[in-house]
Amino acid sequence: MRAPDSVAMDATVMDQSTDDRRDTALDAVTDGACAAGLTLCNGECVNSQTDLQNCGSCGTACPAAGPSQAVACLAGTCRSTCEAGFDDCTMAPGCETNLGTSTEHCGRCNSRCSLPNATARCTTATCDIASCATGFANCDGDVSNGCETSVTSISNCGACGTVCSFANATPVCTAGACGLGTCLPGFADCDRNRANGCETQLNTTSNCGACGMACSGATPFCDAAMGRCASGCTAPAVRCGATCVDVASSSANCGTCGNNCSYANASGTCASSVCTLGACGTGFGNCDGNAANGCETNLNTNAQYCGACGTRCAFANAAAGCVGGICSIGTCSAGFGNCDGNAANGCETSTTTSTVHCGMCGRACSFANAAASCAAGTCVMGACAAGFANCDGLAANGCETNLNTSATSCGACGTRCSFANASASCAAGVCSIGACNVGFGNCDGLATNGCEMDVTSSRLHCGRCGLRCPLGSVCFDGLCEIP
């Protein structure tokens, strides 16, 4: 049985001999009773919390320890624990598994060491490579991916980093050893020395077409193109080095030996001993019409020749670019914007004057009850609408005041409607007197002096305008009374 690793062993109990426990138990018997903390078992006082033979109760013996295992009685319960580096992985008696060396249980139970193309081993509880499979090696030094590299290729032949290479030849790797494969055309391994590869050119008079094939005569000549000795070249061919060449059609020797028909970004042909510019490479054009510099123009990036010679990129009020052979609109000129998002008409909008796009696309000029304009990219408030005024002086809220109805600005900013002892209102920009305050009356009919009469005390207008008190009476609190 495997116990949790956290269970601590009582070293004192483990090391105490049976005789010592018996002496201690006998000494503890006093008048047929055991000392506190001890239990009487078969005439002996034992500590059932730690005694291996009486663990928890009399006669309950803990099982014997297995290989690499320790057993103890702790708190009246038999406990077993494995030695460091061992575990009970197969449920056999004791701690039978060495976690430091077991390939099936490396570091912990059921952690099997298995690596690609390799025989694995467990060393100090860590999986490692014991040996690589035939034809493989651990070239990257990483154990986790095993022996990842095949050592049968010309880049790793027989060992990591061993590259097969031979002069003028295609190498091979056979059974982990570099070998000379096929010689390149025009070369041969005439000295049978693999180390220097295919060292011999077969276009010389001493090795013409094959090893040891020598050309004789007063002026020996090896026709390399034919791979045989010749007395001279057959017209219209001429001798260029070791080869007979038709200079009337050879693009490498056009008209004369060594005159290569080569053009920038284009193919070249030779006809009647004259070089001719061929087809331009993809994305290039001969836009200047000069064959000497080939296809000099990059049609993918040149805004003057975008996609084809003669296709010039141009946009109103904007810089132009060419991307992948397609014209693209660049940065707008100062004071203009591409507000409709259409590249075809460029940056069509003047952001210095447009009230819809003032200063930038989408910024519209608008003021309450007022006209609006755009000047130098800034919104400017114009004249107020009839009957309105900008009485607070702020452009942000436009002409905010209705001069036809405002009692504080009636007909003009700051013209406040006010009448003595009466309410006031504004209609069509003109102040009008309203109802008189209680106790007052507009008895003279003039609005300018408001409700000028105190009808609570006037004998001529007592209680209301025109109500005269009889002779000998007075007006008191709006009522005629005889004093």
DSSP assignment of 104-150, as one string?
Answer: SSSSSTT-----TTEEEEEETTEEEEEEEPTTEE-TT--GGG-S-EE
Confidence of residue 31 (pLDDT cuts 50, 70, 90): low
Q: Predicted confidence band at 367 (pLDDT cuts at 50, 70, 90)?
A: very high
Q: Which residues does 445 contact at the CB level (< 8 Å), separation at least 6?
A: none
Residues 60-96: pLDDT tens digits? Answer: 989 888 888 888 898 889 888 888 888 888 877 788 8
Q: By percentage, how much of the chain surpasses pLDDT 70?
A: 93
- Report which residue type is found at 267: S
pLDDT of residue 14: 38
Parallel, antiparallel, or unpaired for β 126-132 and 118-123? antiparallel
Q: Which residues contact 479 (CB under 8 A, 6 or more apart)?
A: 462, 463
- What secondary structure letter does DSSP report for 257? T
Task: Give CA–CA dist 212/202, Å, rounded.
Answer: 9
Residue 186 has pLDDT above 80, yes or no: yes
**Is pLDDT above 90 for 52?**
no
Specify the 3-state DSSP secondary structure of 225: coil
Instruction: Say if residues 222 and 205 touch (Cβ distance below 8 Å).
Output: yes
Give backbone dihedrals phi and psi of 72, rounded to 5 degrees, phi first.
Answer: -145, 160
**Length of the chain in residues, anyone?**
483
With tokens 């032949």, the residue in question is 157
Q: Find all residues with CB under 8 Å of 172, minimum gap 6, and list them.
A: 154, 164, 178, 179, 180, 181
The amino acid that residue 354 corresponds to is: S
Supply the pTM of this predicted model: 0.38
Render the burial of 162-189: b for 16+ CB within 10 Å, e for the rest. bebebebbebbbeeeebebbebeeebbb
Coil vs helix vs strand at 194: helix
C-alpha 138/C-alpha 123 separation (Å) is: 17
Question: Got the DSSP string for 295-352?
Answer: S-EETTT-TTSSSSTT----BTTEEEEEETTEEEEEEEPTTEE-TT--GGG-S-EETT
Phi, then psi, of 124 in degrees rounded to 5: 50, 50
Instruction: Give the per-residue pLDDT at 76.
Output: 86
pLDDT for 221 equals 81
Q: Quickly count: other Cβ atoms within 10 Å of residue 474's Cβ.
A: 13
DSSP string of 9-69, one letter each residue: P-HHHHH--HHHHHHHHHHH-BTTBPPTT-EEETTEEE-TTT-SSSSSSTT-PPPPP-TTE
Residue with tokens 């580096």: 85
Mean pLDDT of 423-438: 94
Count CB-CB contacts under 10 A for residue 219.
8
Mean predicted lDDT score pLDDT of the chain = 88
In the predicted structure, residue 238 carries a pLDDT above the cut 90? no
Helix (H, G, I), strand (E, B) or coil at 195: helix
CA distances from 173 to 132, 147, 182 (A): 19, 19, 12
pLDDT at 4 over 50: no
Confidence of residue 239 (pLDDT cuts 50, 70, 90): confident
> Tokens representing 251?
């693009």
Greater confidence (187 vs 221) lies with 187
Contacts of 326 by beta carbon, 8 Å cutoff, 6+ apart: 306, 307
Q: How many helices (H) and strands (E) does the chain have?
A: 2, 38
Q: Is the pLDDT of residue 6 over 80?
A: no
Please report which confidence band the pLDDT of residue 9 belongs to, taking 50, 70 and 90 as the band edges.
very low
Q: Which residue has the higher pLDDT, 299 or 243?
A: 299
User: What is the pLDDT at residue 82?
Assistant: 87
Q: How confident is the model at residue 218 (pLDDT cuts 50, 70, 90)?
A: low
Task: Find the mean pLDDT for residues 396-409.
Answer: 94
Which of helix, strand or coil describes residue 97?
Answer: strand
Residue 242 has pLDDT above 90, yes or no: no
Question: pLDDT over 90 for what percent of the chain?
Answer: 70
